[in-house]
């Protein structure tokens, strides 16, 4: 059950990164509220990337969304089929999503927490 929750959290965030980044590349902008106080505004993540000098609506940032999401989807497949590197890669991908307030922060945080709880047991060899 925990593995399933980990996969669902990862799929939601990774899938959103691919969708929103690809849509922004094609249409010109990310999904934003269409009405109300926050109409046309990006989430709190935009302020974080702007603070480090990356324009949130730049083509480069949109590509980061798509590439990161696609890589993460590949990591999810590796995790599902239990490849040896996949647990660590899922942990890193979850940690890297924490900046994406609030969506990635919540789901990535759940993913990271559950991965740590469900840490794979290391194989130890017994002396002959």
Question: What is the rounded CA–CA span in Å between residue 77 and residue 59?
Answer: 27
C-beta separation of 48 from 100 below 8 A: no
pTM for the complete prediction? 0.87
Question: Which tens digit of pLDDT belongs to each residue from 12-26?
Answer: 999 999 999 999 999
- Residue 63, exposed/middle/buried by CB under 10 A (0-12, 13-18, 19+)? middle
Nearest to 70 by CA among 25, 114, 29, 120: 25
Task: Give the C-alpha separation, 30 to 49, whole Å.
Answer: 15
Q: Where are the alpha helices (DSSP H) in the chain?
A: 2-27, 45-51, 59-80, 86-96, 103-117
pLDDT tens-digit series, residues 84-108: 999 999 999 999 999 888 889 999 9
């Amino acid at each position: 059950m925990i593995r399933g929750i980990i996969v669902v959290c990862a799929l939601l965030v990774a899938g959103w990164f691919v969708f929103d980044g690809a849509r922004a590349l094609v249409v010109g902008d990310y999904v934003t509220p269409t009405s109300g106080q926050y109409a046309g505004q990006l989430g709190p993540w935009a302020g974080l990337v702007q603070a480090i000098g990356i324009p949130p609506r730049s083509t480069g940032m949109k590509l980061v969304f798509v590439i990161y999401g696609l890589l993460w989807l590949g990591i999810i497949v590796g995790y599902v089929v239990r490849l040896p590197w996949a647990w660590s890669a899922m942990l890193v991908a979850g940690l890297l999503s924490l900046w994406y307030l609030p969506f990635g922060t919540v789901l990535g945080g759940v993913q990271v927490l559950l991965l740590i709880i469900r840490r794979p047991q290391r194989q130890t060899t017994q002396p002959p």
